[in-house]
Structure 1
Amino acid sequence: MSQLQQLTAQFLIVYGEDILSARNHNCLMLLQHFDRISRLILNLDYTLVKCSNRFLMEEMTKFPKVTSLTLAVMAFEHSFGASLFHVLRISSGIRELEVKLALPSKPKPYPPCQSGCICAEPSNWETEELVLPCLKEVVINDLRGTEHELALVKRLFNWTKMLEGMRVNFHDSITESKGEELRKLLLSFSRPGLRMNFTHHGEVCSYD
């Protein structure tokens, strides 16, 4: 399948019981069949997070060469910076990154994130350096401005030196005043010459 342009992988369970690691193993085995993929879409599932679980993505140590990476994150209020750091560290040659911050279509009884939750592990992502030397474009979809979301976006600016543009699409629940507050905050993370586009209820604001 040397002409494959896009691959969407099954859900990867980020934290869970050891028995669930077999589900992730199938996905990893599939990826090992490819040397290069133009666009890779990964779905990261946090719905089974419990304090007694372990980080199940440690077996993921190598990716094909990927140009465009899409990460659909179903964190449901849990921290997801550690797992995204892990994925980006083994796909550091990407040129385009899209992060989709998915929410359930209707409320479900998922356990809330509590103090001491394993979702913050491994914790080195907050301090360890990461270089994404080829990354030029970033898209963040359905940003609501949670602490976990903003922590990741801020770190992204530190990891990228060649970034040319970032597009942020706010979630529909964001009010006009909250959207303005988030724009100012995200612009404070940015650096001169970086193109920033914000979309809120269909309206686009651009900053250079």
Structure 2
Amino acid sequence: MAQQCCGDGGGGIAANRAKPSSSAAAAIASGEDRLSAFPDDVLVLILLGLGDIAEAARTSVLSHRWCRVWTLLPELCFHHLVPDDGRRIREVLVAPDAPPPPLRRISVTAQDTGPDSLQAWLPDAARRVSGNLFYRNTAPPRMEDGDGDEAIQLPCFDNATGIELTLGFLGLALPFAGNFTRLTNLGLYRVRLHGPCELGDVVSSSRCPNLKRLCVREARGVDKLSIHSESLLKVDLENLNGLRQLTVVAPVLEELKLYSCFAANKPVAVISTPQLVFLEWKDPYDRHSVQLGNLGQLRRLRTDFFFVHGPHNIWQNLDMLEFLQQFQFIRGLDIILAYPRDISNLPYLMEGMTVVPRTDFLTICFLNEGHAFGPSLFHVLKLCTDIRRLAMVLFKSEGLESACHSGCNCDQPTNWKAEELLLNRLEVVDIGNLEGAEHEVVLVKRLFSWATVLKKMRITFDFSVSKSKAMVLLPILSSFSRPETRVEFYMHHDANEKSVFLLDPEDQGTAF
């Protein structure tokens, strides 16, 4: 089925014609061919308006002439496929007479289809796609060992510019021969890679000379990954279960993200990326086995979790601190401070953080589960007194009540409430997801006291905060500021965390 969701679709082919009437849809439903008399451009509009693959298959058998009409579509979208629909996609892709023209986009969403369904049409798609291929298997993740499963043979896409495959952990075998000459974007999600061809061999410059972005998430079967690319700008690697060795040699790479790839394995990595601007390292780190190379252009660094409470010598904290010690100055530093839900009898670990790189822009994400985070913030700020901008984002597990209970020791040590701290370069503070708890209000007051040259503070309330509650908090929080400081308050539109509006002190919302 082809849908308007693929964009304009008609490519202007029938811009001046009226849309097909409901009688056309009725003819399709009845099985009576009253449509073939229409001009091709009208038939194209009808195909673009169909709702699912069953309708598309039903339409295509009404007349052999319609098989030719399929080739006039510049884009194809297939949704809610079932296992038997693979051959129907192939019928749409293959022209009966002459070679079909290129397709700028194919988008397929399938419901728990197996390798055979995808294999039925993938080679034909490789011959036709000149733009983007999107395939998503909506099956729940397969947690069982599937190494013996039949693998989908990925053909070589000579002309495609983008490929994104979400396979639900179906097996995928990469092609031994051929080049992806025009490919600029490759995304592989929930895949089980089969040998013998290695992922690194395919994505390196010898076979993907124009690849700009590589994203691999929740992939299995990647033991070693060696990337040598003259073109890559962004690499995003997440949950590569079983990775033991990583090599990235990419002279123009600007962004590298690594998250939970080495897991329990000792990290062995060689990173040669002299133009890297952004590095996210949320993985084990060992300075003896990880070579980061020249990072002279690095402007932003994002680290793994640091647990505020927990057992002594927890490896995540030790690795994170060792990683930070490799940097003396970084323009932007992002750290995550995590709290267990139950911190009773767990030691306070912030004293183990004694040095962090000098930075201008500090971002701290608090996974605080409702606990007071004043002590941990105060500790970090004592190490970063030269910051010019501070951003704080507060998170707790969605749908769960606050883990903090009466008598909880999360407010210890209490020196942050009385001890003075001079942040005489801090000009901008941004606080996200504020709920208005007492300890949060006290912390905002302390921030105004510490930041003597503060120009602007922006506070965005958590989406759970009602407007009436926000309007109560607004004058309280505003009262702590100096006259020269501009304070702005924002609220979320319903539960849409990406859409906010500015609160007016006179109780008038302004779109933002």
Q: Which amino acid in structure 1 is aligned with residue 435 of structure 2?
A: R
CA distance in 1, matches of 2:392, 2:376: 13
| Residue number among 490, 496, 501 corresponding to 1:203 in the alignment | 501
Describe the SS at the equivalent of 1:16: coil
Q: 2:430 aligns with which of 131, 139, 146?
A: 139
Contact 2:391 2:431 in 1 (8 A): yes
Q: CA offset at residue 5 of structure 1?
A: 0.9
Gapped runs of 5+ residues in structure 1? Answer: none
Alignment check: 8 A CA contact 1:133 1:161 kept: yes
- Which residue of structure 2 lines up, in the alignment, with residue 87 of structure 1? 380
Q: Which residue of 1 aligns with 2:364?
A: 71
How far is the alpha carbon of 1:73 from its aligned partner? 0.6
Q: Does 1:14 align with 2:308?
A: yes
- Bigger drift between 81-90 and 187-196 goes to 187-196
> Does the Cα contact within 8 Å between 2:425 and 2:453 map onto a contact in 1?
yes
Aligned equivalent of 1:175, options 466, 485, 505 = 466
CA distance in 1, matches of 2:323, 2:427: 27
* Shift >4 Å, 4+ stretches: none
SS at match of 1:73: strand
**Is 1:149 the counterpart of 2:440 in the alignment?**
yes
Moved more, 39-48 or 154-163: 39-48
Q: Distance in 2 between matches of 1:153 and 1:45?
A: 20
* Paired position in structure 2 for 1:60: 353
Check conservation: 1:9, 1:42, Cα contact below 8 A.
yes
1:19: how far off?
4.2
How many Å separate the matches in 2 of 1:104 and 1:44?
A: 14
Deviations 1:88-123 (A, max 9, x none): 000111000001011223438x8x323432312222
TM superposition shift of 1:200: 1.4
Q: What root-mean-square deviation, in Å, do the aligned CA atoms of Structure 1 and Structure 2 show? A: 1.7
Q: Using the aligned pairs only, state the percent identity.
A: 39
Q: In structure 2, how many angstroms separate the alpha carbons of the residues matched to 1:57 and 1:190?
A: 29
Mapped partners of 2:420, 2:354: distance in 1: 17
- Listed one character per residue, the Cα deviations across residues 17-62 of structure 1 (whole Å, up to 9, x for unaligned) are 2242x32111111111111111111111102542211111212111
Q: Normalization by structure 2: what TM-score? A: 0.39
Contact 2:423 2:450 in 1 (8 A): yes
1:120 partnered with 2:418: no
Q: State the 1:150 CA deviation.
A: 1.0
Shift of 1:173: 1.4
Q: Which amino acid aligns with 2:450?
A: W
Which residue number in structure 1 is paired with residue 296 of structure 2?
2
How far has the Cα of 1:206 moved from its partner?
A: 6.4
Residues 1:48 and 1:105: Cα distance change in structure 2 (over 3 Å) = closer
**Which amino acid in 2 is paired with 1:7?**
L
CA distance, structure 2, for counterparts of residue 143 and residue 77 of structure 1: 11
1:107 and 2:405 are equivalent in the alignment: no
| 5+ long unaligned stretches in structure 2 | 1-294, 493-499, 506-512
